[in-house]
Amino acid sequence: MKNFCLTLVFLCSFSAAADPKPNILFIVCDDLNTHVSPSGYNPISTPTLAKFASESMTFNRAFCQYPVCGPSRASFLNGLYPESSGVIDNTADIRKTRPDTISMPQFFKKNGYWTASVGKVFHSPRHEHGEVAWSEFTRFENDELPVVTAARTKFEAEHGSTEDRKNRKLWKETEKAAKSKLDAQTPPGYGRSGLADAQHKDGKNARQVADWIQNDASGDKPFFIACGIQKPHVPFLAPDKYFDQYPLDEIVYQSDRANLWNSIPSTAISKRYEAFGFELGKEDDKLRRQYLQAYHACISFIDAQIALVLDSLEAKDLKENTIVIFTSDHGYHLGDHFLWGKVTLFDIGAKVPFIVRAPGITKPASTSQAMVELIDIYPTFAELANLKAPDHLQGTSLVPLLKHPERSGQKKVAYSVVSRGPNLGYALRNQRWRYGKWPNGEELYNLTKDPEEKQNLAKREDQIERLKEFRALLAAKQIEAASKR
């Protein structure tokens, strides 16, 4: 009996050693649309993402469930559609709308993982789940901008220390004026920061993750690390050298016809373009080029930071035991449809880059045309880690697609919503079409012939039957999306 027990212990120990849990690295950007080379966008240089895609599987039809930071993150971090999470704006907190829901990092921590995050993963410090979810977490700030340093030096020569009580109000006003063009939210700041990569918060984020990996911060546990990349969220700041890659006179974009919105429901519009300094139906070539240059510079900057993270896996010989997913919380308008920012259901606003490397499963340079949603991340990570996913999840594991990229997948459509006052706007997409439902009208686009969504076919008589099909699909999807409320 004693020998039997010893043998059993040995076999259990051998089994555990032979089947270690994989590490997980989740890289999520903020406001990054599909202006990256793996998504087929060539005007921007993203060599890191291009190399990563060559070793991974790229999903070409991946969509967020709500094109705003807070609701999107509450959705994919908890595996729920927004109607079930109860988070449909940036202020709501799922810990109040749906208490006791187990978030993705909390799930992995409970299952023996060392969990850590840098940057923006949960929406804001107020939404941060803290020690329940993370073994370690931190958020960095940019170093002081050189324009602020110069202003402070001049101020202190005239008035004394900025820390003196009598100077604080005046210094705040002086500081705000000094960095107004660069660091404002409205109108969104943009430009050359004058900082080095490592002085930006994303430079610090990447270096912190690389440090955790290189120094075995997880100890004898597998790690679940979420690297929250803040850019290209406004303000569009990046080190000078990344602006040099995109001369203003070489910026390429396509202008829209002035009457574009005559055939599209007005409630599909987000008026954020006004804060950027634009008018609906009017092009401003100079301003658009400046913002595009800055957005693209931010993307090349974060591409270089992500290289540090991925290289650290290779340096520690962890590449073959680490699952990596790279994506964004939603897309972003850069003047198309005369719109700027987020909060729309056009593909450029809801579609995201989505790349997965699962060693031993994904085939290098493979692609999938299946419909994918961000709520699929949670169950995918769980299955890849050989863990039973929580029952509340509404997403679908992508593991079958990772093994067979040629398959169409289980989902007929990808589903996204966004608020319009007390109402919601809805979008369904399949391989060929996008349908939109708004408080004051509908949209229907043939994505094969009109991938930029400029010809709304919803009022054409030859599309009546197709509209009926989409309305029925939407009604069923609305019920499903709210089913875990």
Backbone angles phi, psi at 324, to 5 degrees: -125, 130
- Does pLDDT of 1 surpass 80? no
Q: Provide the whole-model pTM.
A: 0.95
**pLDDT at residue 3 in the model:** 52
Question: Is pLDDT of 464 > 70?
Answer: yes
Average pLDDT, the chain: 95
- The span from the CA of 431 to the CA of 452, in Å, is 14
pLDDT computed for residue 14 by the predictor: 37
pLDDT at position 10: 42
Mean pLDDT of 272-296: 98
| Choice between 12 and 151, residue whose per-residue pLDDT is larger | 151
Q: Which residues contact 178 (CB under 8 A, 6 or more apart)?
A: 145, 147, 148, 150, 151
Give me the pLDDT at residue 141, please.
97
Tokens found for residue 303: 């591409």
Mean pLDDT of 435-462: 98
| Total residues found in the chain within this entry | 485
pLDDT mean over 326-333: 98
Please report the pLDDT score of residue 19 as a whole number. Answer: 64
Give the model confidence (pLDDT) of 97-129 as tens digits: 999 999 999 999 999 999 999 999 999 999 999
Q: What is the pLDDT of residue 12?
A: 44
pLDDT confidence of residue 370? 97
pLDDT at 2 over 70: no
| pLDDT tens figures, 33-67 | 999 999 999 999 999 999 999 999 999 999 999 99
Q: What percent of the chain has pLDDT over 70?
A: 96
Burial of 111 per CB tally in 10 Å (0-12, 13-18, 19+): middle
Percentage with pLDDT > 90 across the chain: 94
Cα first-last separation, the chain: 52
Per residue in 190-245, pLDDT (tens digit) is 999 999 999 999 999 999 999 999 999 999 999 999 999 999 999 999 999 999 99
Taking only the tens place, the pLDDT of each residue in 235-246 is 999 999 999 999
Going along the chain from its start, the domains and CATH numbers come out as 26-139+197-412 (3.40.720.10), 143-192 (no CATH)
Q: pLDDT digits over 388-414, tens only?
A: 999 999 999 999 999 999 999 889 999
pLDDT band at 184 (very low <50, low <70, confident <90, very high): confident
The residues that bridge with 419 in the sheet, in sequence order, are: 424
For residue 8, pLDDT beyond 50: no
Q: What digits encode the pLDDT tens for the residues 350-385?
A: 999 999 999 999 999 999 999 999 999 999 999 999
